[in-house]
Structure 1
């Protein structure tokens, strides 16, 4: 499953915004304040709305009036994602549309639609369509031998007008598109890694995936070591290549039943516990755990991975993100680092800039000057430093 386009209206800086032909590895650059974090926040917003409801997802962002574009307070917020997913052994382009507004100063879901084409011709069919908490979903969408008129609608009424229909219907396999999209949201990873939370002893709870903040890194490292020893050895091998001196990493049980990471340095007899290890070492280990997850996330979002990392490591890290995408995941990265950008193919690069206060997006591969310079042997990061990306300064 892969997101191929995002369309936004009145979501913070994005009064009217669309990004199309999104590659599996997507890197976004832009000056401060152009909306890189806001673009990635769309994924976090949908995840929060699915976990709770629209009202709570807005509240943690300051409320409806803080999220809607300034000057558009009386208008609706619109989010549309197009993604490809396999339905009945065929890849189909599915569109999810969400319109959020206010009624009596309370946020509500005014419209929620899932649609895709059943055949080669005709308009996309609505397999889920809700307005203000009431609507329907198709229960036999896989019966492609049926005509549109023969599809069976199941009417539903949600408990509240601020709940997403895919939250409930997505639990049931008979609603294929809804179930698939819900699974995508539940399993994507929007990184909010904090080194301070990754350090120190942790309760020895079970966890298979790195949390967004990285606070369960020791637990996940132990899980991979115990259940996927070959993958752990690959992570350790990468650590030895990237961080000079590191010869071994282990998740060690303490006497009180907690876990702590210990790093062995070749120059010393005894290993260091993680609070004595550099920020860069901790962050590189976290990225390797994330990128070599035995059950990869369908989508990763990582902001400014270059922080705390030595510049020479960034090219290899960019290549690891690209390899993750090649293995079937999708990766969104924002960066301020020309060194990181030098390792990114031109077709993966998008840049944001502001014109008259409105954020716009451009794709590097569509710029003929950039294409010609890259073909002549230049690198994207160097061109960025030289000002070839209009409206962007590193």
Structure 2
């Protein structure tokens, strides 16, 4: 599954932003305060809204007026265009949120539609407003079913509930199923080295948590159930982090799991609390990126933190491999060293103008493209402020 375009309107610093032609691996560059975290939070907001409702998702962020872009009075709007796979139709999901007559958050518009080819009218799966609308009915398993389906009027329990959540008949339809997977399986790394070092009670975890606090349990799961994947991770650790020869997730006598790292120069392994931050972080990323089940969308904020600059090029390549194997990756950074390993087509730049953030694709700026084609590295252009102040701003 791949997100091809995103439009955001009146969501915090994004008063009116469109990001198009998004590749499998996309890097978002910007100074502190330009909105990199907010951009990732769009998916966090949709995730919370799907789990609960719009009102609760907004309340978690301070309420409608706190989220609405400063000085604006309109609706909060999102549009996501994606494909379940390369040969599937483009699917568009639109959502507009307003305050109703009672000054409570409500869904003003929710539309899901798809189109085959580049022409012709799109087929609407659903169209809702304030808890009421029309949706395709009957057994919906294919796109042909949508084309032939009758549209019937439906009523949701509340005007702040997403129709893609409230209408159970769509759970098997691929368009809605893939959209829900995209939102539910959204993952943003909030990695904390100290939590990854912690000794954990023996238990069971298959996937790395956003903070990395279950790293030892996941390592043990991979060792016990996916030995080949675990061996590949160790091979990459040896290549990426000089000296590391072996990693163990060992259960102690009192029923806890502890990570031990074997340095080739020493006979006895080191417990994780004595290993460098960079070693722990690289191992965590490798475990995350070698998950047998790829996340639909993996977001990583500032991976350069705690990592030795020379490792950033290796890490960028690991992210790229992950994206090629089926998991889309969004990365935020302001590290010149990481940027030096980024391709021009992968880079988006965030700049602030008059209090709001704009996003432009670096490859579409003629000056940047000429410098890139002449051999300049993106990290060097960033150091010279040419990716922020020297561009032809949108």
Same fold (TM over 0.5): yes
| 1:208 matched residue in structure 2 | 206
* C-alpha distance in structure 1 between counterparts of 2:387 and 2:233, whole Å: 35
**Retained in 1: the 8 A contact 2:28–2:350?**
yes
Match of 2:234 in 1: 236
1:153: Cα distance to partner? 3.0
Alignment correspondent of 1:70: 70
Alignment coverage as a number of residue pairs: 389
Aligned residue runs from structure 1 range 277-296, under 5 A: 277-296=275-294
Q: Tell me what 2:114 maps to.
A: 116
Offset of 1:120 from its aligned partner? 5.6
Secondary structure of the structure 2 residue equivalent to 1:91: coil
CA distance in 2, matches of 1:145, 1:5: 25
Give the secondary structure class of the aligned counterpart of 2:88: strand
Could you tell me which residue of structure 2 aligns to residue 26 of structure 1?
Answer: 26
The residue matched to 2:23 in structure 1 has which SS? coil
What CA deviation, in whole Å up to 9, does each residue of 1:161-181 have, x standing for no partner?
A: 222122243684443311110
Distance 1:384 1:78 in 2: 31
Distance of 1:270 and 1:346 partners within structure 2? 45
Residue aligning to 2:362: 364
Show the 5 A alignment for 1:326-337: 326-337=324-335
Tell me the TM-score normalized by structure 1. 0.93
Q: Would you say the 8 A contact 2:141–2:173 is kept in 1?
A: no
Could you tell me whether the CA contact under 8 Å between 2:136 and 2:146 is conserved in 1? no
RMSD: 2.1
Residue 92 (structure 1) aligned with residue 86 (structure 2): no
Instruction: After TM superposition, list the pairs within 5 Å mapping 1:131-280 onto structure 2.
Output: 131-139=129-137, 140=139, 148=147, 150-169=148-167, 172-280=170-278
CA contact (8 A) 2:140 2:146 kept: no
Q: State the 1:386 CA deviation.
A: 1.7
Residues 386 and 296 (structure 1 numbering): CA distance in 2 closer, same or farther, change over 3 Å? same
Q: Mind listing any 5+ residue stretches in structure 2 that lack a counterpart?
A: none
Q: Residues 231-260 of structure 1, C-alpha deviation per residue, up to 9 Å, x if partnerless? A: 101111111122222211111112332322
How far apart are 1:144 and its partner, in Å? Answer: 5.5
Structure 1 residue 53 corresponds to structure 2 residue 78: no
Cα distance in 1 for partners of 2:182, 2:331 equals 18
How far did 1:288 drift? 0.3
| Offset of residue 348 of structure 1 | 0.5
Task: Return the offset for 1:143.
Answer: 5.8
Between the aligned partners of 1:181 and 1:371, the Cα distance in structure 2 is 34
1:121–1:307 CA distance, 2 compared to 1 (3 A): same
C-alpha contact (below 8 Å) 2:10/2:77 kept by paired residues = yes
Q: Give the conservation status (yes or no) of the 8 Å contact 1:170–1:179.
A: no
| Structure 1 unaligned residues grouped into runs of 5+ | none
Deviation at 1:154, TM superposition (A): 4.9
Q: Tell me the distance in 2 between the aligned counterparts of 1:392 and 1:37.
A: 24
Offset at 1:39? 0.8
Choose 136-145 or 41-50, whichever is displaced more: 136-145
1:379 and 2:351 correspond: no
Structure 1 58/378 Cα, relative in aligned 2: closer, same or farther at 3 Å? same
